Amino acid sequence: MAIKEKKTLRAPVGSAFLKVKLVRSLIGYPLAQRAVARGLGLRKINSEVVRPNTPEIRGMINKISHVLKVEALEEQ
């Protein structure tokens, strides 16, 4: 039986910024996941923010990748 790998969201290495969009509601999700969305600056569905492509931001995105849409940007 093969071990199933966890799917992680990988941002392109050369991108300087990430555009993050909240595409699903956080109703019913744990408080910790809501706090991560709030920490990214996302409040309502379809709200978008541009964040630098750093390990800290990518970690936050990976925590709630099931409710986000992420796009790599070269310049802001």
Per-residue pLDDT 10s for the chain (76 aa) are: 566 555 555 555 567 999 999 999 999 999 999 999 999 999 999 999 999 999 999 999 999 999 999 999 976 5
48 occurs within a structural domain: yes
**H-run or E-run covering 33:** helix 31-40
CATH at residue 55: 3.30.1390.20
Number of structural domains (the chain) is 1
Report, in angstroms and rounded to the nearest whole number, the Rg of the chain calculated over CA atoms: 13
8 within a domain of the structure (yes/no)? no
SS3 50: strand
pTM here is 0.78
For residue 16, being part of any structural domain is answered with no
